[in-house]
Every structure is written in C-alpha cells, then in structure tokens.
Amino acid sequence: MSMAQAVEWTRDALQARIDRAPFNAWLGLELQDWGHGTIALRLRTRPEVLGHAAINALHGGILASILDTACSMAVVTATGESVYTVDIRVDFLRPATAEVYTIQAKVARLGRTLATAGAEVIAEDGQQVACGRAVLQHIAQMPAGRPG
Amino acid sequence: MSMAQAVEWTRDALQARIDRAPFNAWLGLELQDWGHGTIALRLRTRPEVLGHAAINALHGGILASILDTACSMAVVTATGESVYTVDIRVDFLRPATAEVYTIQAKVARLGRTLATAGAEVIAEDGQQVACGRAVLQHIAQMPAGRPG
Amino acid sequence: MSMAQAVEWTRDALQARIDRAPFNAWLGLELQDWGHGTIALRLRTRPEVLGHAAINALHGGILASILDTACSMAVVTATGESVYTVDIRVDFLRPATAEVYTIQAKVARLGRTLATAGAEVIAEDGQQVACGRAVLQHIAQMPAGRPG
Amino acid sequence: MSMAQAVEWTRDALQARIDRAPFNAWLGLELQDWGHGTIALRLRTRPEVLGHAAINALHGGILASILDTACSMAVVTATGESVYTVDIRVDFLRPATAEVYTIQAKVARLGRTLATAGAEVIAEDGQQVACGRAVLQHIAQMPAGRPG
C-alpha cells in the first residue's frame, strides 16, 4: 500500500467518524486500535442482532456489517476521505456464538480512487468466525471529521 | 432448479420462520410473496439502520442482511430445512435512500446439501440499489416450523 | 444503465477488440451479438481447457476467463474505453461438459469510472453452468480500436 | 483447520494430481511446496495467456485459474479426495506483468464436506498481484492418486 500523504487521527475523531453511521453507533462498534491503512474494532453482542434465537449466533448480516465497516474505516485511516463500499464478499467460517468479537481490517491496495481491503472477525477464544474482502471507492471531501 | 419434493408453507408459518431470527424481527422484514425457491420481502427503513446520517442511506451491512435473509428464505421455501449461509457477495449499485424496499430472491441451483441463490433490493422507484449472490448449506431438521 | 453517449461498433471491430487479448484469441471466443451494455459470446471447447480429463469438464478457470471477458466486453460495447476488471465472483452451478457454450453479459450499472456487470455461461442444452459478477474500471483512451 | 486424518503425498503424486487437469498441464503449473492444507505452485508465463498484447499482462482468467487450482489443491493436500470449486472471488490488485509467479494457498476452514480456502499470486518482485477466496466441496473417492 502506498499513499501520497498520511492522515492524522485522534481516537475521539476516529470513533466519531465510525459513529457518524447511526447503525455503527447502534451496534456499539468500539475503536480499539488503528494504523495507516489498518483498524481494529470491538463488538459486544446484544439480543437484537442474533440470527437464530436458539443457538445465540450473530445474524450473518451483522457479520457483514462489521466487516464492511472495518474495511471502510481501514481506508479512512489512510485517506480521511469519504469511502463507499462497491462490493463485498463475506465467508462465514464458524458459528458466531461468542459474547465479544474483535474485527481487524487491513488495506491490501490503495489506488487513486479505489481500494481493496480485507477483514476478519475473531471471537474471544481466538477463533476466526468470518472474513471478508471489499472493494471501496474513496473520494476527496471536506476536512476529516466534517460530514462529506 | 429441481427438488425431490415440495414443502407447503402458510403465510404465518413462513413469516414466523423469518422472525425466528431476532435481527429479522427487529428489522421488521415482512413476507410479501413466495413460490418454490423464490421469495419477496419488504423492508421499511428505521433511523437506526442508516449508514450515513447526512444522506439518509441504508448501511451496507443492512443491505447485506436483507439479501442474506432473502437468499436463505428462498431456499427454505423449497426445503423447509435449516439453512446456513456459507458465503455471500453483495454489489452496492446505488445509494439506498428510499423509505421502503422490496427484496426478491431466487434459488439458481438446489443440490443435495448446497444451494446457490441470487437476490436484489429494489427501491420504491423501481431502481435496483443492491444485489447479492450466496452459497447456502441446507440440512435436514425437525418438521418445518420447529427450531432445528 | 445510463451513459453520456453511445459508441458504435462494427462486428469486425468488436471481434478484433476481443482478440486483442491473446488468451481470448487462443480460446477462440467468437462474438455472437451485442447491444449497448450487453454482449453474447460463443466458446467451443478444446482438449487443453478441460479441468478433469475423465469427465471432460471445463476447468473452472476457463469459465472464469470467459465470464471475465464477457463482463469486460459488455462495458466496452457501451464506452469503447479501456476496461480493467477490479474483482469477479464466479459461481459454478453444474459440470461444464458441453461442446459449445454461449456467454451472455449485461452491465447492471455504469458509473463515471466504475461499472458492475453480470454474466452467465449457458450450455447447448440451455442449462446455466456458471454465472459471474464483476466490478470493472473503465478509463478513457485513444479512439476505439487502437490499443490504449 | 482440523481434520480427522492426514493424507501422505509424494511430490510426484501431487504433481500428477495437479496435471490430471489438462489445463493445469498446459499452463505448466509446477508444484513447489506443500503442507497439510497448504500448497505453493509456480507459473511461468507463455504468450498465449496474456490479456493484453501491448502491456504483456496475464489475462484475468489465468489469474483466476491458478488461484482456483491452488485453492483446490490446498484442500487435496489435506483430504486426498475429489474437490469441486463451488464459488470463487478474485481481486486483481496490480498488473500481472512478471515472467514468473508463485501462488500460495491455505485452507481456512475444513468441514465435513465443505472447505474455504484463500490464495494469493506473488510476482518475482514480491508484489501481490491478485488474491482469491474459494468455497470448495470435497467428496470421498477411491484411494488418493486414482482418478475419482
């Protein structure tokens, strides 16, 4: 990954950027760590996000949601720009029956307007429960932190 | 698509099957119509599911959620069995800024244990805002309607 | 799909554009029909492209190749520009054991620099053996027919 | 990845298994290394596999072919069984203009009948030019080495 210039983020500004999406705020996605083109988020389950009441597993769409957000935010750490997901693939590897998850994303390629990023969802026991790969478009906008 | 035997569903039983996933019930996904290997659902947006407060567009993960559910339920109409999504691809085609959406899904191939299904999300104005393709595993369970 | 302006193609020019890729020429991909954002190609199998000698089925990568080419060329019919595939998903639905295949592709969305297209491979008996979905980048170039 | 029992391969037997697909043999895919659920292959370009005569880049379908084969063979190293690709996603990251490539694949999850594997294509200069993710079905067959 190569980029023209670095973008500086504070924890509060990056968490605010995540929460600019009401669904991220509702999910309670919490910023754990970040770098230039990488991010780690944390999700605690809540009863409404289950896909099956009997086995207490996350709905696949929730896994897709947090993988999508993590891929987008990994691009945001590097560009600060507006980011739109063009497409995403999600592989569901194991039942997501944990209480808390870490989501790690990394930009694999950052082009002038397009980026490709990968992410994985890790349960408390260290098991990978899902992974994803997304293509995203990033577009210059007003200064970071102001809605584009 | 070819299947050994048909499964009969009533509207109430199929809606109950959708709502067995707490997240589907929270979203308020409403059964519109179904056939043997096809289904149509309806979603009305709510403030919490937006991906961007300023432009009022659905979060990509919500589009993934309803495409995933539609693909799964299209298989359920045909088999009545437990269905698990193995992987899904979602293409985001246009900003999802409508109030109400129709989601249509169709099984493209139904094998002995695997199925491939496609789905699309259509806004009120008839525009396709997203489409998806999923591979799903279907596994025999107790009689339809009883949680597997 | 909406586009600023139409591009006119002759059969010879469009077939030459397909054959500009040596691998397409080696495969013998033959233009059947086209429209504005759509294309139909024809492939006759040859012994080298099989994935399994015993069952005489096409290699999955050959199905991916013709789906990729069809999606790219569907964009080319509309823009005439250079087209690069960003990512593709291929679903393998049935064994590809026919002698001759038709590949049909259609642009689902044509943006300013990005396009999304879908395609399917149909065997002689009318069965769909594979389908794909691709995101492509299209970039202005020299007049159509001249390598960009 | 967990598996009931290990399968032992010799270099000759595993290379022969690769070459059982005529297209792999035509491409000249060469076994480099393998483990339990992992494999490394090597490809040298040939003029027929280019996607663009002017820039000497591999056709995207060739990248898909070698990623598909690598994912399949990574499963074969572990199971010895017949393996069928159900679906694959390929991300094209950089122009594939090298002379020689290494393809590395690894099984991410091996279930009773399904596997998920990831692979990447690395050029001579160490750059990743493409990556892929596939879902595969593995089915018991006659003893390893005998065509199923």
Q: Residue A13 pLDDT more than 80?
A: yes
Q: Residue D148 pLDDT more than 60?
A: no
Q: Which residue in chain D has the smallest CA separation from B109? A: D86
Contact C87 A114 (CB under 8 A): no
Three-state DSSP at D75 gives helix
pLDDT score, position B42: 98
Q: Which residue has the higher pLDDT, A144 or D16?
A: D16
pLDDT band (50, 70, 90) for residue D147? very low
Of B53, B85, B86, the CB nearest to A20: B53
Contact C114 A86 (CB under 8 A): yes
Query: Percentage of chain B surpassing pLDDT 70?
Result: 91
Contact A114 C86 (CB under 8 A): yes
Q: What is the pLDDT of residues A98-145, one digit of tens each?
A: 999 999 999 999 999 999 999 999 999 999 999 999 999 999 864 444
Distance (Å) of CA C133 to CA A28, A91, B26, C88: 33, 17, 31, 6
Q: Please give the Cα distance from A147 to C121 (Å, whole number).
A: 43
Q: What is the pLDDT of residues D77-97, one digit of tens each?
A: 999 889 999 999 999 999 999
Could you tell me which residues come within 8 angstroms of residue C33 by beta carbon, excluding any fewer than 6 positions away?
C39, C40
Max CA pair span of chain B:
50
Could you tell me which residues come within 8 angstroms of residue A112 by beta carbon, excluding any fewer than 6 positions away?
none
Q: Residue D143 pLDDT more than 80?
A: no
pLDDT band (50, 70, 90) for residue B56? confident
Contacting residues of C for B37, CB less than 8 Å apart: none
What is the mean pLDDT of the segment spanning D20-25?
97
* Residue corresponding to tokens 């994303």: A105
Three-state DSSP at B48 gives helix
Preferred mutation among A27, A88, A91, A136 to probe B, highest tally of B CBs within 10 A: A88
Least confident of A9-18, B79-88, C128-137, D53-62: D53-62
Residue length of chain C: 148
Contact C109 B131 (CB under 8 A): no
Q: Residue D144 pLDDT more than 90?
A: no
Cα D31 to the center of its chain, rounded Å: 10
Ramachandran class of A126: left when φ > 0, alpha when ψ lies in -120 to 50, beta otherwise: left
pLDDT score, position B1: 46
What is the mean pLDDT of the segment spanning B11-22?
97
Q: Which residue has the higher pLDDT, D52 or C12?
A: C12
A109: closest CA of chain D, how far (Å):
6
What is the mean pLDDT of the segment spanning D53-63?
91
Three-state DSSP at B80 gives coil
Least confident of B19-23, B78-82, C17-21, C135-139: B78-82
| Mode of pairing for the β-strands spanning C82-92 and D30-35 | unpaired
Contacting residues of B for A147, CB less than 8 Å apart: 52-54
Q: Residue C3 pLDDT more than 60?
A: no
What is the mean pLDDT of the segment spanning D111-132?
97
Q: Which residue has the higher pLDDT, C140 or C75?
A: C75
B31: closest CA of chain D, how far (Å):
29
D34: closest CA of chain C, how far (Å):
21
Contact D89 A94 (CB under 8 A): no
Contacting residues of D for A110, CB less than 8 Å apart: none
Q: Quick one: DSSP state of residue B58?
A: E
Q: Please give the Cα distance from C87 to D78 (Å, whole number).
A: 28
Task: Calculate ∠ Cα B4-B5-B8, nearest 5°.
Answer: 155
Q: Which residues of D21-55 are buried (b: 16+ CB within 10 A; e: fewer)?
A: bbbbbbbebebeebeebbbbbebebeeebbbbeee
pLDDT score, position C5: 52
B128, C105 Cβ separation under 8 angstroms: no
Interface of C to D at Cβ within 8 Å reads 20-24, 26, 47-54, 59-62, 64-66, 68-69, 84-92, 147-148
Contacting residues of B for C86, CB less than 8 Å apart: none
pLDDT score, position D53: 73
Q: Residue D2 pLDDT more than 80?
A: no
C113: closest CA of chain D, how far (Å):
16
Q: Which residue in chain B has the smallest CA separation from C88? A: B89
Q: Please give the Cα distance from D48 to D66 (Å, whole number).
A: 15
Q: What is the pLDDT of residues B78-106, one digit of tens each?
A: 999 899 999 999 999 999 999 999 999 99
Contacting residues of C for D70, CB less than 8 Å apart: none
